[in-house]
Amino acid sequence: MTFQVLISDPLNEDGIKPLIDADHIEVHMLTNLSKAELLERIPEYDALIVRSQTKVTEDVIEKGERLKVIGRAGVGVDNIDLDAATERGIVVVNSPDGNTNSAAEHTMAMLMALARNIPQAHASIKNHNWDRKSFVGVELKDKILGIIGLGRIGTEVAYRARGQRLKVIAYDPYLTEEKAKQLGVQYGTLDDVLRKSDFITIHTPLLKETRHILSAGAFRKMKDGVQILNCARGGLIDEDALYRAIKSKKVRGAALDVFEEEPVKNYKLLDLPEVIATPHLGASTVEAQENVAVDVSYDVIRILNGGLPQNP
């Protein structure tokens, strides 16, 4: 028997080599399928591998009569209906740490770009303007970076931030005072982080409990002139509330890699000069893309061969 594997988002070709070389597995890379096309093709497949673009909704899972495994080449599984998959006995695997380093580095790049207005100054000089007055930034040294979600990426950001001589305060329901001490960060409640920080970066998954964790109420608690980063998931920030907080000058600036709707259709927030952004590039490095593709490839092979996944 030959197992059929559908890869429906672009994946690193070297990373999927184990899958391509595996016995009894045939791989089809069909990216940019419409929802209707995906629904039509999915009954042929034993495995589906996605990044964040394909939405693996209940109807896709229902139609996937042969599906045994869904692989997410990345961390967040919020684009997969986990309840529907579990109900059908389909295993969902991801790559929990294949892109940790890249996401942390991207967050630091955004933090520095935000503090020093680098994207705005770059656009200005490329437009043949010599303007040194409009782009006065702030130093990071001795500022307080608040981290919401001190998991894999949040922890790597904390290490790097200390290297920039920032003071770090973190909130995570699983963080203990002892662990915080070991990591060299201050242990705080969510309120502490909101009230004390000069910069706030979020690194939680998107869950019912974390949706709009940065809401209008949260912005009200923050220091005047706070700067906000989101390189985790759109939906963690209430974008309308952020827009209003920037317009009222409560928030000095924001650096966003992820959005409530992707690709972005409503550019109201992005059109603000105080907002710098990238189109969900946190994991877009050669290394991370190879790592995540390798991780899910091996897990998909294991499951199709009746074994257990490493990253369920």
User: Does 27 sit near ligand NAD (CB under 6 A)?
Assistant: no
**Active-site position among 233, 252, 260, 290:** 233
Residue window 61-100: x/- pattern of binding to ligand NAD, with contact defined by CB under 6 A: --------------xx----------------------xx
Q: Is 262 a catalytic residue?
A: yes
Residue in this structure with the two tokens 């001190």, named with its chain if needed? 150
Residue 74: CB minimum distance to ligand MLT, A:
3
- Pick from 231, 275, 293, 296: which binds ligand NAD (CB under 6 A)? 231
CA separation for the pair 277, 267 (Å, rounded):
11
What's the burial of 168, exposed, middle or buried (CB within 10 Å: 0-12/13-18/19+)?
buried
Question: Across the chain, how many H-helices and E-strands are there?
Answer: 12, 12
SS3 content of the chain, % helix, strand, coil (to 5): 35, 20, 45
Q: Six-digit token pair at 281? A: 């590039």
CB 299 within 8 A of CB 71: yes
Part of the chain binding ligand NAD (CB under 6 A), chosen from 20-28, 116-124, 138-146, 197-205 = 197-205
Alpha-carbon distance of 229 to 171, in angstroms, equals: 15
* 102: phi then psi, degrees, rounded to nearest 5: -65, -40
Q: How far is the CB of 119 from ligand NAD (least distance, A)?
A: 17
Q: What minimum distance in Å lies between the beta carbon of 231 and ligand MLT?
A: 9
- Name the binder of 51 from ligand NAD, ligand MLT, none, CB < 5-8 A by kind: ligand MLT
Q: Roughly how many angstroms between the first and final C-alpha of the chain, as a whole number? A: 25
Nearest residue to ligand NAD, scored by beta-carbon proximity:
151
Catalog residues that contact ligand MLT under the rule CB under 6 A.
51-52, 74-76, 99, 282-283
Q: What is the CA radius of gyration of the chain?
A: 21
What's the closest the beta carbon of residue 102 comes to ligand MLT, in angstroms?
9
Residue 256 as a binder of ligand NAD (CB under 6 A): the answer is no
Dist CA 46 CA 206 (whole Å): 28
Is 274 noted as a catalytic residue in this protein? no
Q: How far is the CB of 78 from ligand NAD (least distance, A)?
A: 7
CA gap 8, 38 in Å, rounded = 8
280 near ligand NAD, rule: CB under 6 A: yes
Longest dimension (CA), the chain: 68
Per-residue x/- track, 131-160, ligand NAD (CB under 6 A): -----------------xxxxxxx------
Q: Is 233 a catalytic residue?
A: yes
Query: Which ranges of the chain would DSSP assign to H, the alpha helix?
Result: 17-21, 35-41, 58-63, 82-87, 100-115, 118-126, 152-163, 177-183, 190-196, 216-221, 239-247, 286-304
State yes or no: residue 205 binds ligand NAD (CB under 6 A). Answer: yes
Q: Which residues bind ligand NAD (CB under 6 A)?
A: 75-76, 99-100, 103, 148-154, 171-174, 203-206, 209-210, 231-233, 257-258, 280, 282-283
Catalytic residue ranges: 233, 262, 280
